[in-house]
């Protein structure tokens, strides 16, 4: 294929603005699928993607179209829209020269629209703004164009109007892709450099690498090496997704496809690595990607301890196809053997949990999610803390730091007061405020990640009747007044319920937890105290009252001292029982207390 006739592009947008539907329509109009094969979410292969109506993994497809008498190759990379998966978006954009920025003409510019637009601008990509859903009765294209102009400086003449549902305007969009997006740079005669932008594991064929050839060409049977790890392999299969896997003998400069080379483990392939020829290696690798940063951590334990080996095997399978998910063995006196897992965000965690339960039939107990913290020790050493159990003694901590993010919220101006009040409750500091149009506002905040990563988005949606959208990016770690709260049951610390919170909310958070625990733990023959402690000092308490057997029921009449003697004997017995007994906490109690966002 002539290099001038290749176009590599991504589709980026806020979640639910129609990326996958537009991708489906482009494939149908380009002839990559027939009317008979056509269905919604063609590129979303996972069951969870179809059920939730979202894209989780980036996917690639190659199409061929005839335009003004010439044949063109269009390489499309469909990307997720949810904030948790912005890492997948940044990887996909690096393999492209252009991006379609899709905006819902009924909902207007949303938080992820702005975030993804800036990701594309930072990669120096050519952007084509696309107004989708123009056939809806609520569509307001003029207002949306005004918002695009105010934020990104995009004019009306640059926008393409489409309805992905009916196919209206898709031919114009394909024409704009060919005419307005640049072809790849000409490095045909240079040494081989191909970037790995994604990979997944196939049980029978090993690792399948998604790659973009930046210079030179790669051939079947060629000996190649990965420049960061130095591993070398022989290419056994090359091809393109059309959208089915279509074998090719060679992938040329500027092309996107897949490579199989008998790679046994996903850990041998690092996304962002550069593939080069073993015989004639390139002088230097391509600029890759930052490794994905886990934002949320949670412990997973099998409800039945006998399921531990089954859970370990399931996590290993999940990690094969998801390089941004990590897990490490963990042991808890209360819950037994389990794993400490790291995720990109709360949605990512939910998806992993659902896949674990659905695909492997394992019932899971999950601890309350926490974010990663930084601790500066008195010896001057800085280290990360993902779990309360990793915290050193208070005397060894010089400074406790928590992650802060830049939070952007877009909403109608009527809700400014409501959002300000909510932000204040979550320790957010107000930054700048921008008016996108006559009725819509974008507000920026500096926010602690721990306060917004759990239920903030749900509360925000409820407070603004569903009109507000949010996006955030990590700024770094800053000093904060944080404490570890411990939950004591019958004066014994339960490590699985420990958590790190800001000092101001320690009592409220702890009291909520022990109130739930009091309702979940069955009553005993003796009184059970539930306590919340910070640094050894008890700050809140609840009590589970004892069962009281009526030991005087057999006594009829007589002096009152007879009854008093029996009651005194019962009291001494309960006291003795309490001193030797331990309270068994049922699994249901952990489940009720360790609900996400509590």
pLDDT, mean of each 10-residue run, the chain (598 residues): 87 80 84 64 48 54 88 82 59 83 87 82 89 88 87 84 86 91 88 85 84 90 87 91 86 90 80 86 78 79 86 82 80 81 82 80 79 86 82 83 90 90 90 84 90 81 84 86 86 80 86 84 80 86 78 69 79 62 64 54
Is 21 marked within a binding site? yes
Strands (DSSP E) found in 53-205 = 59-67, 70-78, 98-104, 126-132, 160-161, 193-202
Per DSSP bridges, beta strands 6-13 and 70-78 are parallel
Instruction: Please report the pLDDT score of residue 590 as a whole number.
Output: 65
Q: Are 225 and 203 in contact (CB under 8 A)?
A: no
20 is in an annotated binding site: yes
**Fold observed for domain 483-593:** Alpha-Beta Plaits (3.30.70)
Residue intervals in the chain for CATH 3.40.50.300: 3-180
Q: What is the pLDDT of residue 420?
A: 92
Angle of helix 346-360 relative to helix 308-320, nearest 10 degrees, comes to 120
State the span(s) of the chain assigned CATH 3.30.70.240: 374-479
Q: Is 19 annotated as a binding residue?
A: yes
The predicted structure's pLDDT at residue 221: 92
What superfamily does domain 193-277 belong to in CATH? Answer: Translation factors (2.40.30.10)
Q: 0.75 cut: is pTM over it?
A: no
Model pLDDT, residue 205? 87
Q: Is 133 annotated as a binding residue?
A: yes
* DSSP letter assigned to residue 292: P
Question: Nearest CA to 497 among 135, 505, 489, 84?
Answer: 489
Contact call for residues 541 and 529 (beta carbons, < 8 A): yes
**Where in the chain are all domains bearing CATH 2.40.30.10?**
193-277
Residue 551 DSSP label: T
- The CATH class of the 3-180 domain is alpha beta
Q: pLDDT at position 220, please?
A: 92
The class of domain 296-371 in CATH terms is alpha beta
Is there a binding annotation on residue 16? yes
Consecutive H or E run containing 577:
helix 560-580
Where in 462-550 does DSSP place strands (E)? 469-479, 482-489, 492-493, 499-502, 528-534, 537-544
Where do the CATH 3.30.70.870 domains begin and end in the chain?
A: 296-371
Comma-separated ranges of CATH 3.30.70.2570 domains in the chain: 483-593
The pLDDT value given to residue 48: 47
CA angle at residue 589 from 586 to 593, to 5 degrees? 155
**For residue range 133-174, what is the model confidence (pLDDT) as tens digits?**
888 888 888 888 888 888 888 888 888 899 888 888 888 999
Q: Are 193 and 214 in contact (CB under 8 A)?
A: yes
Render pLDDT for 480-521 as a digit per residue (tens, 0 to 9). Answer: 888 888 888 888 887 777 888 888 888 888 888 888 888 888
Fold assignment, 374-479? Alpha-Beta Plaits (3.30.70)
pLDDT at residue number 128? 92
């Amino acid at each position: 294929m002539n290099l001038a006739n290749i176009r590599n592009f991504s589709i980026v947008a806020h979640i639910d603005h129609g990326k996958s539907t537009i991708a489906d329509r482009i494939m149908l109009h380009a002839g990559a699928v027939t009317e008979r094969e056509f269905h919604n979410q063609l590129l979303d292969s996972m069951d969870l993607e179809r059920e939730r109506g979202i894209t989780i993994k980036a996917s690639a497809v190659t199409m061929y179209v005839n335009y003004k008498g010439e044949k063109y190759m269009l390489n499309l990379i469909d990307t997720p829209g949810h904030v948790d998966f912005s890492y997948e978006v940044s990887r996909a954009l690096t393999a492209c020269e252009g991006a379609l920025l899709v905006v819902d003409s009924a909902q207007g510019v949303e938080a992820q629209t702005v975030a993804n637009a800036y990701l594309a601008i930072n990669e120096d990509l050519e952007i084509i703004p696309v107004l989708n859903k123009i056939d809806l009765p609520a569509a307001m294209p003029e207002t949306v164009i005004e918002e695009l102009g105010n934020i990104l400086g995009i004019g009306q003449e640059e926008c393409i109007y489409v309805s992905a549902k009916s196919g209206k305007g898709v031919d114009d969009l394909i024409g704009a892709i060919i005419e307005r997006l640049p072809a790849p740079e000409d490095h045909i005669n240079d040494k081989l450099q191909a970037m790995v932008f994604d990979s997944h594991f196939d049980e029978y064929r090993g690792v399948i690498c998604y790659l973009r050839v930046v210079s030179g060409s790669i051939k079947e049977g060629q000996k190649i090496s990965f420049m960061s790890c130095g591993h070398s392999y022989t290419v056994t299969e090359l091809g393109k997704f059309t959208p089915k896997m279509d074998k090719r003998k060679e992938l040329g400069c500027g092309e996107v496809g897949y490579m199989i080379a008998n790679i046994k483990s996903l850990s041998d392939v690092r996304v962002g690595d550069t593939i080069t020829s073993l015989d004639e290696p390139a002088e230097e690798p391509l600029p890759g990607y930052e490794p994905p940063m886990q934002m949320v951590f949670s412990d997973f334990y099998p409800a039945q301890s006998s399921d531990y080996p089954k859970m370990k095997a399931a996590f290993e399978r999940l990690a094969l196809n998801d390089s941004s998910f990590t897990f490490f063995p963990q042991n808890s006196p209360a819950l037994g053997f389990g794993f400490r897992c790291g995720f990109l965000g709360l949605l990512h965690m939910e998806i992993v949990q659902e896949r674990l339960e659905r695909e492997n039939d394992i019932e899971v107990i999950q601890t309350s999610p926490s974010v990663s913290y930084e601790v500066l020790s008195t010896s001057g050493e800085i280290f990360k803390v993902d779990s309360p159990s990793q915290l050193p003694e208070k005397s060894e901590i010089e400074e406790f730091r928590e992650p802060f993010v830049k939070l952007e919220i877009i909403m109608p101006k009527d809700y400014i007061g409501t959002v300000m009040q909510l932000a204040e409750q979550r320790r957010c500091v107000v930054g700048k405020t921008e008016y996108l149009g006559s009725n819509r506002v974008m507000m920026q905040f500096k926010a602690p990640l721990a306060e917004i990563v759990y239920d903030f988005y749900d509360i925000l949606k409820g407070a603004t009747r569903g009109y507000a959208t949010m996006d955030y990016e990590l700024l770094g770690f800053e000093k904060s007044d944080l404490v570890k709260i411990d939950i004591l049951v019958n004066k014994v610390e339960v490590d699985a319920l420990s958590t790190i919170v800001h000092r101001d909310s320690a009592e409220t958070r702890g009291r909520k937890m022990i109130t739930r625990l009091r309702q979940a733990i069955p009553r005993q023959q003796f009184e059970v105290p539930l306590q919340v402690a910070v640094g050894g000092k008890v700050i809140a308490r609840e009590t589970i009252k004892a069962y009281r057997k009526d030991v005087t029921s057999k006594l009829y009449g007589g002096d009152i001292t007879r009854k008093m003697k029996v009651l005194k004997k019962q009291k001494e017995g309960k006291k003795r029982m309490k001193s030797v007994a331990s309270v068994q906490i049922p699994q249901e109690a952990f489940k009720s207390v360790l609900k996400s966002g509590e």
